[in-house]
Structure formats: structure tokens, C-alpha cells
Amino acid sequence: MTAVVVGIDVGTSGVRAVAMDPGFAIQAQAGVALADFGTDWRDPATWWRAVEAAIDALLRLVDARNVRALAVDGTSGTMLPVDAAGGPLGRALMYSDKVDDAAILSAIAGDAPPQSAAHGATSGLAKLLRFQKGARPARVLHQADWIAGRLSGRFDVSDENNALKTGYDPVRRGWPDWLARTGADLALLPDVVAPGKPFGPISPGSAQRFGLPGDVAVVAGTTDGCASFLATGADRIGDAVTALGSSLTLKLLCEKPLFAPQFGIYSHRIGDAWLAGGASNTGGKVLAHFFPVERIVELSGSIDPDRPTGLDYYPLIGTGERFPITDAGLAPRLDPRPADDALFLQAMLEGIAAIETRGYRQLADLGGPALRSVRSVGGGARNPVWTAIRARQLRVPFFEALSEEAAAGTARLALQGARTAGLL
């Protein structure tokens, strides 16, 4: 009998579930699309139906009797007002939804410290203040909190990572005094525990619904972004993960927190370490502006990564950069353009690699550790030529990501919680 834990990722377009054994091996995984369960992704009933379907699909692949713990990650900044029993009081505000109330944004800007992640129209705090004006909620929860509440029966617990954009202070480990000055009703805020901490058993109703043992632990989860980092297997100070998607995103495991609002950098507490990172406006969207994916693959076959072009590009679609340079007026640098498309593509890949290198250097200059290793995720990670160009510039070992499934990172937290609870 192989004991397993389950990590559940409630993402932007679907729900994924992973069963992981105590040796971190994935025993099974399943996923469903949110669109199959409703057209309104702000409706929490749609989330829950998708979660149920993902768990059901997973438990057709593993024996439910072997499950020891569950943990959930959700989209950072997605918020939901609920009544005292955890019932939704309307639609959620999603991670990308903006609060357009000038008074709310002014209150946050005036009272939140510069280094807080609660600034901005999409922050969890802005949404809390918006909800408390009209819905008369008993609590305002993050997406992952509510899903975990459906599993545990507790709608009063959050984790340190999801709570960050709502104003939580991860250094002092508590809700700070300045929150009340923004007008926030502190009674609406959940209690906050560390990711990976068990906070209760599964509810009898959920145990019966899924055929799970009654002592299965429900463990505090995290955000989708932190879960994606954990899934790769990066776990030592100086380990980094580069996401090569439409944008270039860097994440670095640090021994102390980094806060640099001018670069959009803040830090999540991960165990005894800190996860800091930044996002550039460069990335795959620049490449896609010039070439379709099929053409990029074709041209890459003609590139010799050991023969640099000598061109000094800063690939951007439009004007403005946020990290590792903060300059709203920074213009793209993509000239001169060679007649050979392969050389043009190579110069852009070299330029993005140079921005990545500069980004990790910037994190070190802000107090982070020297880069020790890199794991890569996203579509660009599958381009071996680009990997060779990046490795030449970064000059550290490149390791394969153990998984790109955020649910696998959340399953790692569930393992931690199961061990703490004495279930493994």
C-alpha cells in the first residue's frame, strides 16, 4: 500500500490534481478545464465543481484509502466575500480584476509601507476594502482559502503566501497595525499560518463525498506562482527558476527577504527561506511578434549558439521596462536587423538571455545570494539552442525541472503537513 498526498492547483483556466508519494514521485495526475463547469469564472461554484471533478478523476487512478493529506494553491489576489458558514456572498474578484475606487487606492497608497505587496488596483487589500463596502461579509477569503474551507469545514484560515497581497507582514508574521488605518475591518481577515502547516482534518462531509479516510489532513497551501517554483525541485539558497513564457520571470531562493518596490520585487516566506523575483517586459511575446512558433523552431536549427552574433539587443514590443531596469521610457533595441532571419532570432535570444543575466545580478545587488543553479519552465525552456545561449551567459549549472505542474509543488506542502501530523 503506497501512501500518497494530493496537491490541488486552481489555475487561471483549469484545475489540476497530483498524487505524490513520500519520495516525491508523482503517482497520478488529472486535470479539468474550468470552462467545462460554467461560463462565469468569477462564480465560486464553478471552481468547486471543477475541483470535485479533478479529485474524482485522480481518485480513479489511486486508491482513496491511501490518501494522507490535501493542500490547495490558487491564483494570487483572487478574493471572495463569504458569510459565517463560508457561503459565497456573490462573485469573486479575480487576480487581474482592478478596483477603480479612488478613495480605496488613495487609502492604501497613504498608509501601506512602500515595500508592501498590498499596493495597486489588483491587490487583495483593495478587493477586501471593496467587498466590505457592500456585501457585509463575515470573512473575505483568498481563492485557495475557500477551496480548502470546502474540504475542511474551516473558513477562517489562510497561508502566508496568499495573504501577502492583502497586507500581511511575512517578516513579523502577522497582520500589521497600519491595515486598520486604511479602513480595513480586521475582523474580516483570516488567521494566517505557514504554508505546509496542517490546520485540521477533512470534514466528515468531504470525506464521505470523496471516499477519503476521516483523518486526512488539510494543509495550508500557497499561491500558484509559489507552487510552480516548488514543483521544480529548487530548494537551496541560490537556486533559481526562470519562466520563459510570454514574459521573462525570474525567481530566486534567498536566505533573507528582498523588497524593492521600484522593481516590483517582494518576497514570499518559503519554510526558512524567502522567494524573491522580478518580471521583465521581454520574453516570448517579442519572438512571437516576429515569427510564428513553427518558424522559430525551424530557424533555431540553423543557429550555432557557440558563435555569438555580436549584436546588442534589448528585445521589447513597446516602450517601457520594469525589471531589471525600471524605465517607462526605455525603447526597444532591435537594430540593425540582419538579412538572415536565423541571425535576427539568435540576436533576440542573446538579448533576452542578457536581460536574464542582468536580472539575477540585480537580485544579488539588492541583497540576494549569488546564483547557484537554474531550472527553466515555460515554452522557451524546450528550445535547446536558447538554453545553450543562456547557459553560456549565466555560467551556472542548469537542472531539469522535476515538474512544471503547480499541483506538484502544492503536493510537496501536503507531504510536509502529513509528516508534521504524524500521518506518514
Are 148 and 222 in the same domain?
Answer: yes
Are 252 and 395 in the same domain?
Answer: yes
- CATH number of the domain within which 292 lies: 3.30.420.40
At residue 321, the pLDDT reads: 96
Are 222 and 268 in the same domain?
Answer: no
Distance (Å, whole) CA 295 – CA 307: 21
**Is 303 domain-assigned?**
yes
Closest C-alpha among 215, 195, 208, 271 to residue 239: 271
Are 164 and 69 in the same domain?
Answer: yes
Are 246 and 192 in the same domain?
Answer: no
> For residue 347, what are the contacts with CB-CB under 8 A and spacing of at least 6?
309, 311, 313, 338
- Alpha carbon 221 to chain centroid distance? 11
Are 329 and 414 in the same domain?
Answer: no
Are 414 and 395 in the same domain?
Answer: no
Amino acid at 350: E
> For residue 235, what are the contacts with CB-CB under 8 A and spacing of at least 6?
253
> Which residue numbers in the chain have pLDDT < 50?
none
**Is 36 domain-assigned?**
yes
Are 303 and 388 in the same domain?
Answer: yes
HSE of 295 in the Cβ direction (CA atoms, 13 Å)? 11
At residue 134, the pLDDT reads: 82
**Is 48 domain-assigned?**
yes
**Is 231 domain-assigned?**
no
At residue 41, the pLDDT reads: 87
Distance (Å, whole) CA 73 – CA 411: 10
Are 243 and 386 in the same domain?
Answer: yes
Distance (Å, whole) CA 407 – CA 412: 9
At residue 334, the pLDDT reads: 98
At residue 70, the pLDDT reads: 98
Taking the C-alpha atoms of 233, 237, 239 and 245 in order, what is their torsion angle to the nearest 10 degrees? 90
Structural domain containing residue 215: 4-226+406-420
Are 270 and 416 in the same domain?
Answer: no
Domain count, the chain: 2
Distance (Å, whole) CA 252 – CA 274: 8
Average pLDDT, the chain: 96
At residue 363, the pLDDT reads: 97
Are 249 and 330 in the same domain?
Answer: yes
Are 44 and 162 in the same domain?
Answer: yes
pLDDT tens readout for residues 213-250: 999 999 999 999 999 999 999 999 999 999 999 999 99
